[in-house]
Chain A
Amino acid sequence: MYGSRARIGYTCPPQIAEIFPYEFYKMAPEGVTLMITTLALTTRSKQEVDRSFTMSLEAVRTMAKSGASVVMLGGNPINLVHGGSDLREFQERLSQEVGLPVLTSHVAQREALRLLGSRKVATVHPYESTHNERHDRQMREFGCEPCGTVACDHNFLSLGSVPKDMALTLARRIKAENPEADTIHLASAHWATAHVIETIERDLGVSVMTSQQAIFWNAVRTAGVDDKIPGYGRLLRDF
């Protein structure tokens, strides 16, 4: 089988997954595969979020039966709404039930920021600016101080169309506006960010944590793949 070293299960919130598998296979060492189930989000309505949580649980159980090494539940809103106030406890309960490690993207990102030593974090995300407040709140939940948030003004269906230079342009802008930021967070695992992580860290003298990078990192490390992976920021190179 292709996944001779690790098979990473991932429940992917968007109904149409494009960027996540693309960036996964840019980063993955040979012998590591992605087992993906797409969920129901196209607008992020309450109904879609509820349905996606139910689909996630079914997928976790099926992935376990299919031989996954680990399962990562995607979607902060999905897991924060349904996973209870203590996501680590939720992860442990599910892990015990299905017999393999189950993780969430929320915990992955929090852990990534902790290891990077991040304290003041500026966020760039692909959605409309009405989501800024949600992202600031989330940064506090990650244990960091939010210092600036900027939006790309795309919606769920257009995430794959965000121009390739958007992440870098907005990272430069947010650092210029918030020079105290020690970390730039490129939020959401479903827009083009992996190709600019190194440039941002080098040019702006910050750490970078992207949702996709943190999810990938936490999943492969949990699966026992400890290769230090160059080209995608300190997180994958140093930890």
Chain B
Amino acid sequence: MYGYRARIGYTSPPLITEVFAYEFYKMAPEGVTLMLTTLALTTRSKEEVDKSFEMSLEAAHKMAKAGASMVMLGGNPISLIHGGSDLAAFEAKMSQDVGIPVTTSTTAQTKALRLLGSRKVATAHPYESGHNERMEKSISAFGFEPVGALACDYNFLGLGSVPAGMALTLARCLKAEHPEADTIHFGSAHWATAHVLDQVERELGVSVMSSQQAIFWHALRTAGVEDRIPGYGRLLREF
């Protein structure tokens, strides 16, 4: 089988998933495959979030039966609303239920920021600026100090259309406006960011954590693949 080293289960919040799988296969070593179930989000309504949580649980069970090495539950809002106040306990219970490691994108990103030694984090995200406050709250919930957020002003259905130059442009703006930032966070795993991670780190002298990169990294390491992967930031190269 193609996934002879690891088969990574991922529940992907957008009903139409495009960028995550593209970036996954740019980063993945040979022998590592993605097992993907798309969820229900097109507008992020409460109904869609609730439905997506139910779909995630069902998919985690099916992925375990299908031979996944581990399962990553995508979507901070989905996990934070439904996973309870203690996400570690939720993950432990899920892992026990399905018989393989289950983790969440929230945990992945928190661990990534800790390992990178981040303290002051500026966030660029693809959504409308109405989401800035939520993004800053996420950084606080991860245990770090938010120092600004910038939006691309796209909606859920437009994520795959964000221009390839957008992430770099916003990172430069953020660092200029918030020179105290030691880390740039590209929030959301579903817009084009992987191709600029190294450049942002090198050019701006910061660490970079993108949601997609952190999810990929945590999933891979949880599945026992320890290869250091060049080209996509310190996180994958050093940890």
What is the interface of chain A, defined by CB distance below 8 A to chain B? 1-4, 7, 9, 15-19, 21-22, 25, 33-38, 42, 58-59, 62-63, 65-67, 157-158, 160-164, 192
Interface residues of B in 4-20 (CB under 8 A from A): 4, 7, 9, 15-19
B25 adjacent to chain A (CB < 8 Å): yes
CB < 8 Å neighbour of A25 from B17, B25, B42, B66: B25
A222 to chain B, nearest CB (A): 18
Alpha-carbon distance A65/B65, docked complex (angstroms): 34
- Count A/B pairs, Cβ under 8 Å: 119
Instruction: State in angstroms the CA–CA spacing of A161 and B4 once bound together.
Output: 9
Closest to A4 in B: B164
- Give the contacting residue for B16; candidates A4, A17, A25, A59; CB below 8 A: A59
* B1 x A160 contact (CB < 8 A): yes
Which of the candidate stretches B28-36, B137-145, B204-212 sits at the interface with the other chain? B28-36
Does chain A have a CB within 8 A of B63? yes
Residues 107 to 125 of chain B near chain A (Cβ within 8 Å): none
**Most chain-B Cβ atoms within 10 A of its Cβ — which of A16, A62, A63, A67?**
A16
A and B contact pairs by CB, cutoff 8 A, 25 listed: A1-B192, A3-B160, A7-B18, A15-B62, A16-B9, A16-B35, A16-B37, A18-B34, A19-B33, A22-B25, A25-B22, A25-B25, A33-B18, A35-B16, A35-B17, A35-B160, A37-B15, A38-B38, A58-B15, A62-B157, A66-B18, A160-B1, A163-B1, A164-B1, A164-B4
Q: Contacts A19-B2, A65-B157 known; A37 to B38 CB distance under 8 Å?
A: yes
Q: Which residues of B have CB within 8 Å of A25?
A: 21-22, 25
B16 partner residues in chain A, CB cutoff 8 A: 9, 35-37, 59, 62-63, 66
Interface range for B: 35 or more
Contacting residues, chain A, for B9 (C-beta < 8 A): 16
* Chain B binding surface, main DSSP class: mixed
Q: Give the distance in Å from the alpha carbon of A59 to the alpha carbon of B157 in the complex.
A: 11
A35 to B34, CA, bound (A): 15
**Residue B162 at the A interface, CB < 8 A?**
yes
Excluding A34-B22, A157-B62, 4 further A-B contacts by CB distance (< 8 Å) are A3-B18, A16-B37, A58-B15, A160-B33
Task: Name the A residues within 8 Å of B158 (CB-CB).
Answer: 66-67
Smallest Cβ distance from A74 to chain B, in angstroms? Answer: 13
